[in-house]
Amino acid sequence: MDSLQQFFDKYPLLTDFFKFLGILALAVFSYWITKKILIKAVSSIVKRTKTHIDDILLNEKLLSRISYIVPLVVIYQFLYLVPDFSKMIENILESLIVLVLLIVLNNIIDAANELYEKSKLYNRKPIKGYLQVVKIIIDILGGIIIIGLLTGQQPWTILTGVGALTAILLLVFKDTILSFVASLHISAYDLVRVGDWIEVPKFGADGDVLDIALHTIKVQNFDKTIVVIPTYKLIDSGFKNWRGMQLAGGRRIKRSVYIDLSSVKFVDDKMMAKYKRFELLKDYLERKEKEIEEYNKEHHVDSSSLVNGRRLTNIGTFRAYLKEYLKHREDINKGFTFLVRQLTPGPNGIPIEIYVFANTTLWTQYEEIQADIFDHIFAVITEFELSIFQNPTGKDFQVLGKIEK
């Protein structure tokens, strides 16, 4: 033993090396104890609890990161046994401890965001963007501390040097700053929420918002494709949010049918007799007949010509029929704007526009309601001796060719 002691006294560096190996072995053992026993025990307790809050906050990823701190602290505490190595390794260990703490803090922030996303407030006020800003600030400060530990400088000295590079930092973090400002606008004015249906034509986005982060907003289109939009670009380019329609409980139907001008005419006695058989027009025709008759009588109108006085037209009667038809449909919301109007005539005829609201916001049901309405319009319009305008087709030219021959 004396000879062994003399040997180590002769080579002190070798003695410190073996001591350091012993410290490393102790650190590995402490890591094993922490990872295999303590962390497993905590995980087991967390899984057995009824609440899901601790499952998110004390997730396996976070606990695994925490277990790295223990061996680093053990090495740091026993470095005084190897003074020749301590000076060289102490700063590195302190930097690693700060790095692990940064990773743990980031995991805690992510867990807090996940916990918030499961709450009722998430759809209204997502905070992911703000938490990402907090993470960036923490990481920058942690990076400064690590650089200070490795170089032996005070953090404030490094911050002073960083201040001189403000212009460069603004250029590097330009998108982050713009996105942060855009996130403030989105949150303050409640412009977009997770789950909203938005349209951003510039980016080909037309679907539901899946995620609102600091730098990006993720949208899933109805064809299941994913579009990622820079947050500040959403404010810059403008977008349409359908949330108002969804909250109102009704979706607008705004579509026109084009009437051939040549098919518009006055209603004669034969047409009147036909229209009176239409259940939806009985009250309208009785009221209008009485009104027109009183007007013409009061103004001594010569009724031998349809041109004189007031007369019903087939297109006006058709509009009145459409109003009654839509009023009798239970899938049309009568509490919103309800119009059947005639727009300015053009090269394609006279537009008769249906401007009403379906009492559903579901896309499939809305399309079914809209299709049913126009199926009926296309089928019933000939009963009013009106024609729908359409451009000539090949069949029309074939018929025209046969007539000319």
Instruction: Examine residue 215 and state whether it is found in any structural domain, yes or no.
Output: yes
Q: Residue 4 has what pLDDT? A: 47
Q: With bands split at pLDDT 50, 70 and 90, how would you rate the model's confidence at 58? A: low
Query: Are residues 159 and 34 located together in one domain of the fold?
Result: yes
The CA distance from 204 to 226, in Å, is 10
Instruction: Examine residue 180 and state whether it is found in any structural domain, yes or no.
Output: no
| Type of residue numbered 386 | L
Instruction: Examine residue 334 and state whether it is found in any structural domain, yes or no.
Output: yes
Q: Residue 163 has what pLDDT? A: 58
307 has pLDDT over 70: yes
250 has pLDDT over 50: yes
Q: With bands split at pLDDT 50, 70 and 90, how would you rate the model's confidence at 314? A: very high
Q: Average of pLDDT values for 378-394?
A: 86
Query: Are residues 193 and 256 located together in one domain of the fold?
Result: no
The CA distance from 255 to 15, in Å, is 90
Is the Cβ–Cβ distance between 281 and 275 less than 8 Å? yes
The CA distance from 240 to 226, in Å, is 17
Query: Are residues 30 and 80 located together in one domain of the fold?
Result: yes
Query: Are residues 113 and 25 located together in one domain of the fold?
Result: yes
Report helix, strand or coil for 230: strand
What range does the domain containing 217 cover? 187-241
Q: Average of pLDDT values for 258-268?
A: 92
The CA distance from 357 to 335, in Å, is 9
Of 129, 133, 113, nearest to 185 (Cα)? 129
Q: Average of pLDDT values for 347-354?
A: 94
Report helix, strand or coil for 312: coil
Residues in the chain, overall count: 405
- Give this prediction's pTM: 0.58
Q: How far is CA 121 from CA 38, 150, 183, 307, 359, in A?
A: 35, 43, 17, 66, 27
CATH number at residue 226: 2.30.30.60
- How many of the other CB atoms lie within 10 Å of CB of 2? 6
Write phi, then psi, for 393 (nearest 5 degrees).
Answer: -110, 180
Count of the separate structural domains present in the chain: 3
Instruction: Examine residue 176 and state whether it is found in any structural domain, yes or no.
Output: no
Q: Give 252 or 160, the one with higher predicted confidence.
A: 252
Query: Are residues 257 and 363 located together in one domain of the fold?
Result: yes
Q: DSSP characters for 368-391?
A: HHHHHHHHHHHHHGGGGT--B---
Q: With bands split at pLDDT 50, 70 and 90, how would you rate the model's confidence at 3? A: low
The CA distance from 123 to 191, in Å, is 12
Question: Among residues 217, 241, 265, which one ends one of the domains?
Answer: 241
Give the residue carrying structure tokens 């939009």.
229
Instruction: Examine residue 404 and state whether it is found in any structural domain, yes or no.
Output: no
Q: Residue 23 has what pLDDT? A: 73
12 has pLDDT over 60: no
Question: Among residues 207, 241, 275, which one ends one of the domains?
Answer: 241
Question: Among residues 177, 206, 241, which one ends one of the domains?
Answer: 241
